[in-house]
C-alpha cells in the first residue's frame, strides 16, 4: 500500500475547533442539591414553589432544589409539604387521601398531619400504640400574598419570613397577584440551570440587542435606545442603573436589582408605571436543570397585563423558524445548554454585572460553608424602578 | 455588605426532611441478573414468560430475568427460545425466518434448531463443513396447560418441572386457562421491581385498607371486614391465615400462600368458589424494574370472570385523578418507586408476613451461594383457599 | 423446611445461554470522537455532511464524528461551519442572525465570519476594541458537485480535497446529483455504529441471502445468482470481485470497492448501466451510534432512479411485520445493536472481505497514532463497476 503526498503545504488554518478542551461547568454555580455547598447556602432562605390554589385536597407533586415533595391542604386549611415516600413502606403520598387533620397513605392507612406527626395506624394494634415513634419528613410552608414558600434548610437556622415594602401599601383599586406563569411560558419550567436565567437580570445590554434590535422591539420604545449602564453592590446583592435620555428630553433612570440568593426586582419593561417597581420575583431552581420564575405583582384590578411580542405573537405560539428568527430570553438562556459550560465563557466589559452577582453569590456560599449566616433581612426596601423626569430629580431615586 | 439578625430564636422545627440520608435499596432483594446471588438463585427454577400462542412462526422478543431472548415455534410445533444475536455476525433473529426445522438468520442465512444446533450455512463451502463448531445459545422451554416456562439456570441443576395438584383434576364443564393479563393490566408489565409486587401477597392487611376502605370495596363484602391474621412457615414458603366471622355467623378461614421463589397462590378475592384455590400465579421478574404476573386458573367454561372495580370502572379506564382517588395495587406498589428504598422502610407489626417471606427468600439465596439446592418439589399440594363454614370444620383445611 | 430431590439426573443440556460472558465491543472499531485513536485517524480526511442547499441564511444544526456544529451560508455565498456555543457567553448560534459577512449571536450581538473572526461587538466600547482577541471555533468547508464536506482534523495536516475521475466527464444529458437520502431512508440517520453499515460493502454474500433469497429479489435478476467471490487489497483499501455467468452465457464481472476510511464505491445493483460505477458514497459517522450515507451520482437528467422494493413497497412504507418478513440492510445492521458486540462474533470464510477491510482500517489508525500520514490521494481512479461481456474481455476491467 502506498500513498500520494497530498497534504497542503502552504496555508494553515488558525482558530479551528480542532483540539478544543472538553467543556466543563463550575459546580459552585450549578449545584442546588442538599449536601452541596451551594445547595446548603440556598437552603438558608425561603423559596416560592407554587400559588395558594396549588394546595388542595388532591395531593400534588412538586420539586424544589432537586427534592421531590407532595403538597396538599388539610381540611383545616393548612398547607402541608411532605416527603413523598410514606415512612412506613414507602408508597408515595401522591395517592394519599386528604382528611381534616392530614394525609392518609393508601397502602396501610397511616395518617400524618402537616408537620408529619403520625395520627393513626388503623391496622396496627390499638390503631398504633407507638405512633410517636414514626414521623413523616416534612418542611414548613409560609403563604405570602397568595404565594407558597418553603424552607428546606436546617431548622435551627430557619429565618423569619422576609417581606417587601412595596407590598405594605396597596392603592385602592389595585391588588397583589401571585403569578406562576414563568414569564410568558404558561407555567412550564425552563429546561436549563437557574443561574443562566437569573444572572441575565444583571445583564441590561442584552435588552438592547436581544429584545430591541434582534427580534424587533419586544417591549416599548422607551426601552429600545442603548443605555448608559453602571452596576453597584448593595447590602444584599447588586443593582444596575440604565440611564437614557428619551426623545422628549426627559431623563429615564431605570434601576434593576438582584437580592441574595435568587430574588429579582425588575420594573416593568413596558414602562406602564413610573416610579418604584411594582413586583418582586424569584428564580426557583426546581432542579439543577429546571427553573421557574414566580412573581408577586401589584396591579390595577382588571387591567390587562402587557406581554412580550415576537413577530406579533406571544412566545408559546411561535413556530420553530420563528423561534430562530425572533429569539427571546428562553432561546438565549436555554441555548447555553441545560448547564452552560463556564470553562468556555469569555466575559467582556459589558458582563461586569454578571461578574459582580457571582462575586456576592460565591461569598454567601463561603460564608455558610464557614458556619456563618448569609446576608438577609426581615423587611426589604425596594430600590428598582422606572424613574423618569428631570435628571437631577430622578438620579438618586433608586 | 451587612445583614440583619433574622433567624428565629424560639421554636425549632423537628422531624423535617432536612438532612435525611440518601435513600438506598437492598441489592439482595432487587437483583435478578445472571451472576448476582439472587439472580442465580432465581435461575434454579422454571419461570413462566408467555402463553402458548406467543410462540408462532413470527419471531417475538421476550425478556426474562433481565435477559432478552427470541421466541418462535418451528414447523414441527416445537417452541424455541434463543439468544437474540446470531452467533455468526450478531444480527438479531427477530428478523429471522422460521422454517420446519428451526430459525434462519436474515443476514447470511444460518439455520438453527430449537436447541441452537446449526443446520445450514448456505454461503459457506458445502453449506458449512464445520457446522458443528457453531451453536446458537438457547434455553429449554416447557409447556404446561398452555403456559410457556423457561429454565435459565445451570444445565446440570435443571429441575423436573413442578406440577400443582389442583390442576390434576378438572371438573366437567371446567377448563384451565393460561392468563397473561397481569391481573387487570391488559398484559402490560408493571414498571417496578418484582418483589414489591410479590411480597404484597403476604400483606393481607392492605386488602382491608387499600381494597376495601380507601377506594370503595374493590372486591366483595366478605372481604371487607378486618380479619384476624396469622402467618406460618411452610416447607416451601409462607402462608397467611385471614379469619373473619361473617355477618351470617359462619366462619371464613382464608388461606394465602407464597411458594419459593415467586409463586403466589391466592384464592379468588371475589369468593366465587369456596374451598381450595383454583389458580396458581407467578410473579415474573422481566427485569429488575419490570414485572408481570402469569396465572393458570381453573374455571367453568364460558363463565365471566369478575374484575376489580374502581369508581365503577376497570383499572385501564381510570383518569389520572381517579388513580389518585381510587388507588389499587398498581398505585401502592409502583408508588414505591421503580425500585423501593429499603433503607427508608420502617416495618411494623402488621408487616410480619413480609419479613417472613424475605427470611425464606434470603435463605434460598444463601443456600445456592453455598452450593446447595434451594427448596422445591416435583408436585405441589395447594393449601390456599376460601374455607367457609363452622369454625372447627374449616380451621384446619388450609 | 425440607426439599424433594427433584433435579433431573440423566440428560444434561449443552450449549445453553447460561453462563455466557458479558458482550463487549472493540473500541478501535467503534470510537469516532476527537482524542480517540480512531477518531483522530478519521479526522485526517474530508467528510461529507450535507448538500449545498442545507447551507442557507437559516442556521442549521449538524453533527459530524460526534461533534455538534452550526451550518449557515453568509450573504456572500460562503458556507460556514462553526462551534455552536458563542465564544462569549455560550448561547447557541442556532438562534443567530445570518448577515452579509457572517453570523451574529442573538444574545449580545457579536458577529463572526465563516472563519470565526469576530467582526463586531455592538455593546462593547467602540464596537469591540479588542475583537481580534476573540475567535469563534470553526471548520473549513469544501463544496464538491453540490455536496458539502468538512475537515475536522489538525490544520497542519489538512489534505487537498480528493476528487474522483468518474466525475471529471459528464456525458451530455447527464448530471451529477448530491444525494442525502441515506439509501432509501428518506434522509433519516441509521441508528447504529457506522462500521456495521460500512463493512457490509465488503460482504457480497449477504446480497445473495438477504437481498435475493430471503426477502424476495430486492434488485434485479442479474444479481440473484450466487457469485464466485474474491477480495483484493488496493492502494487505498479493499475491493471484491463477484463473478457470475448470466443465463445468456455472458460473464458478469462485478467489482465493489472501499477506500480509506469510509468511501464506498458500488456500481448500481439494478445494473442499469454497464461499465464503471457512476457513483461514489461516503458512510458518515454522525456519532458512534448514528450513521448516514451521502452519495454523489452521475445520472441521465430526468431519469427515474430505481429503488429497492420489499413486498412491493419502499422501505419507509413497511409495517412492523413486513420489516420482519422482508428485512433489508437496515434490519440486518441495526439488528446487530446500536453498537455490535465484537466479542460475540464468529467470523467464517465468507467474511474474509470484512476482515481485510478491518486490517487496512486498523493499519491507518496505527499509522496516525505513530505520527505518520494515513493513505490517501488527490485524485482517485475508480475501479468498481458492472462489467458484462466475454470473460476474457471484462475480467481485467475493475
Sequential DSSP letters for C351-378: GHHHHHHHHHHHHHHHHHHTTPPPP--S
Q: Do C344 and B90 touch (CB under 8 A)?
A: yes
pLDDT average, residue stretch C231-260: 96
List the single residue in A226, A332, A348 with the smallest CB-CB distance to C106: A332
User: In this complex, is the C-beta atom of C6 within 8 Å of any C-beta atom belonging to chain B?
Assistant: yes
Q: Do A376 and B4 touch (CB under 8 A)?
A: yes
User: In this complex, is the C-beta atom of B138 within 8 Å of any C-beta atom belonging to chain C?
Assistant: yes
What is the ipTM score, two decimals? Answer: 0.93
List the single residue in C59, C136, C377 with the smallest CB-CB distance to A4: C377
Tell how far CA A392 is from the center of its chain: 34
CA atoms of A58 and A49, how far apart (whole Å): 17
pLDDT mean across residues, chain A = 94
> What percent of chain A clears pLDDT 70, i.e. is strictly above it?
96
Distance from CA of C116 to the nearest CA of A (A): 7
Which of C20 and A212 is assigned the larger pLDDT?
C20
Give me the torsion for CA of A304, A308, A311, A315, rounded to 10°: -100
pLDDT average, residue stretch A124-150: 94
CA atoms of C205 and B89, how far apart (whole Å): 13
Q: Which chains are within 8 Å of A by 3+ CB pairs?
A: B, C
Q: How confident is the model over B240-280, as pLDDT tens digits?
A: 999 999 999 999 999 999 999 999 999 988 888 899 999 99
User: In this complex, is the C-beta atom of A177 within 8 Å of any C-beta atom belonging to chain B?
Assistant: no
User: In this complex, is the C-beta atom of A21 within 8 Å of any C-beta atom belonging to chain C?
Assistant: no
User: In this complex, is the C-beta atom of C39 within 8 Å of any C-beta atom belonging to chain A?
Assistant: no
- What are the pLDDT tens digits along chain B (398 aa)? 344 545 545 689 999 999 999 999 999 999 999 999 999 999 999 999 999 999 999 999 999 999 999 999 999 999 999 999 999 999 999 999 999 999 999 999 999 999 999 999 999 988 888 899 999 999 999 999 999 999 999 999 999 999 999 999 999 999 999 999 999 999 999 999 999 999 999 999 998 888 877 666 777 777 778 899 999 999 999 999 999 999 999 999 999 999 999 999 999 888 888 999 999 999 999 999 999 999 999 999 998 888 888 889 999 999 999 999 999 999 999 999 999 999 999 999 999 999 999 999 999 999 999 999 999 999 999 999 999 999 999 999 98
Alpha helices by DSSP H, listed for chain B, are 27-30, 37-42, 194-198, 205-206, 320-325, 329-334, 352-369, 391-394
Distance from CA of C226 to the nearest CA of B (A): 8
Q: Do B159 and C6 touch (CB under 8 A)?
A: yes
pTM for the structure as a whole: 0.94
Element spanning B68, H or E: strand B67-73
Which residues of A, range 290-319, sit inside 8 Å of B by Cβ?
Answer: none
pLDDT of residue C215: 65
pLDDT of residue A222: 78
Q: Give the list of residues 6+ apart from residue C340 with CB closer than 8 angstroms, or none.
A: B89, B90, C25, C192, C193, C196
Q: How confident is the model over A81-132, as pLDDT tens digits?
A: 999 999 999 999 999 999 999 999 999 999 999 999 999 999 998 888 889 9
pLDDT of residue B115: 98
Which residues does residue A242 pair with via DSSP β-bridges, in sequence order? Answer: A229, A254
pLDDT of residue B327: 94
Split at pLDDT 50, 70, 90, the class of A153 is very high
Q: What Å distances lie between residue B154 and B44, B110, B159, B370, C48, CA to CA?
A: 7, 26, 10, 15, 51
Q: How confident is the model over A303-344, as pLDDT tens digits?
A: 888 888 888 999 999 999 999 999 999 999 999 999 999 999
pLDDT of residue A2: 42
* Residues of A whose CB is below 8 A from C58: 321, 324
User: In this complex, is the C-beta atom of B340 within 8 Å of any C-beta atom belonging to chain A?
Assistant: yes
pLDDT average, residue stretch A181-208: 95
User: In this complex, is the C-beta atom of C127 within 8 Å of any C-beta atom belonging to chain A?
Assistant: no
* Residues of A whose CB is below 8 A from B205: 108, 123
CA atoms of C374 and C366, how far apart (whole Å): 9
User: In this complex, is the C-beta atom of B142 within 8 Å of any C-beta atom belonging to chain C?
Assistant: no
Contact B307, B184 (CB under 8 A): yes
Give me the torsion for CA of B139, B142, B147, B152, rounded to 10°: -30
List the single residue in A90, A115, A157 with the smallest CB-CB distance to B15: A115
CA atoms of C383 and C388, how far apart (whole Å): 14
SS (H, E, C) C143-201: EECCEEEEECCCHHHCECCCEEHHHCCCCCCEEEEEECCCCCCCCCCECCCHHHHHHHH
* Other Cβ atoms closer than 10 A to B366: 13
Which residues of B, range 192-221, sit inside 8 Å of A by Cβ?
Answer: 205-206, 208-210, 213-215
CA atoms of C4 and B381, how far apart (whole Å): 13
Least confident of A4-13, B169-178, C115-124: A4-13
Q: How confident is the model over A54-71, as pLDDT tens digits?
A: 999 999 999 999 999 999
- Supply the DSSP symbol for B86: -
Distance from CA of A390 to the nearest CA of C (A): 26
* Residues of A whose CB is below 8 A from C138: 15-17
Amino acid at each position: 500500500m502506498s500513498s500520494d503526498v497530498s497534504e497542503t503545504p502552504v496555508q494553515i488554518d488558525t482558530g479551528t475547533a480542532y483540539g478544543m478542551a472538553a467543556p466543563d461547568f463550575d459546580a459552585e454555580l450549578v449545584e442546588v442539591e442538599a449536601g452541596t455547598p451551594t445547595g446548603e447556602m440556598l437552603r438558608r432562605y425561603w423559596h416560592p414553589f407554587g400559588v395558594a390554589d396549588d394546595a388542595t385536597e388532591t395531593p400534588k407533586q412538586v420539586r424544589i432544589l432537586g427534592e421531590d415533595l407532595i403538597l396538599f391542604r388539610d381540611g383545616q386549611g393548612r398547607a402541608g409539604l411532605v416527603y413523598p415516600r410514606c415512612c412506613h413502606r414507602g408508597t408515595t403520598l401522591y395517592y394519599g387521601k386528604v382528611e381534616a387533620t392530614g394525609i392518609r397513605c393508601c397502602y396501610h392507612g397511616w395518617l400524618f398531619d402537616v408537620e408529619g406527626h403520625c395520627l393513626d395506624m388503623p391496622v396496627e394494634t390499638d390503631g398504633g400504640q407507638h405512633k410517636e415513634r414514626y414521623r413523616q419528613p416534612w418542611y414548613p410552608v409560609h403563604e405570602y400574598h397568595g404565594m407558597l414558600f418553603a424552607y428546606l434548610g436546617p431548622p435551627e437556622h430557619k429565618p423569619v419570613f422576609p417581606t417587601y415594602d412595596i407590598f405594605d401599601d396597596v392603592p385602592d383599586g389595585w391588588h397583589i397577584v401571585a403569578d406562576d406563569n414563568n414569564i410568558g411560558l404558561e407555567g412550564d419550567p425552563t429546561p436549563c440551570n437557574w443561574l443562566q436565567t437569573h444572572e441575565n437580570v444583571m445583564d441590561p445590554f442584552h435588552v438592547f440587542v436581544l429584545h430591541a434590535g434582534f427580534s424587533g422591539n419586544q417591549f416599548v420604545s422607551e426601552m429600545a435606545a442603548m443605555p448608559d449602564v453602571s452596576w453597584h453592590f448593595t447590602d444584599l446583592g447588586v443593582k444596575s442603573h440604565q440611564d437614557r435620555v428619551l426623545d422628549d428630553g426627559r431623563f429615564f433612570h431605570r434601576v434593576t436589582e438582584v437580592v441574595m440568593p435568587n430574588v429579582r426586582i425588575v420594573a416593568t419593561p413596558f414602562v406602564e408605571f413610573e416610579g418604584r417597581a411594582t413586583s418582586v420575583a424569584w428564580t426557583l431552581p426546581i432542579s439543577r436543570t429546571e427553573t421557574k420564575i414566580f412573581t408577586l405583582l401589584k396591579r390595577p384590578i382588571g387591567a390587562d397585563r402587557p406581554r412580550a411580542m415576537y413577530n406579533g405573537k406571544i412566545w408559546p405560539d411561535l413556530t420553530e423558524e420563528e423561534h430562530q428568527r425572533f429569539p427571546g430570553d428562553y432561546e438565549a438562556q436555554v441555548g447555553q445548554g441545560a448547564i452552560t459550560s463556564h470553562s468556555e465563557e469569555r466575559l467582556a466589559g459589558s458582563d461586569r454585572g454578571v461578574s459582580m452577582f457571582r462575586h456576592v453569590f460565591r461569598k454567601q456560599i463561603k460564608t455558610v460553608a464557614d458556619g456563618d449566616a448569609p446576608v438577609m433581612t426581615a423587611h426589604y426596601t425596594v430600590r428598582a424602578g422606572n424613574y423618569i423626569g428631570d435628571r437631577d430629580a430622578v438620579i438618586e431615586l433608586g
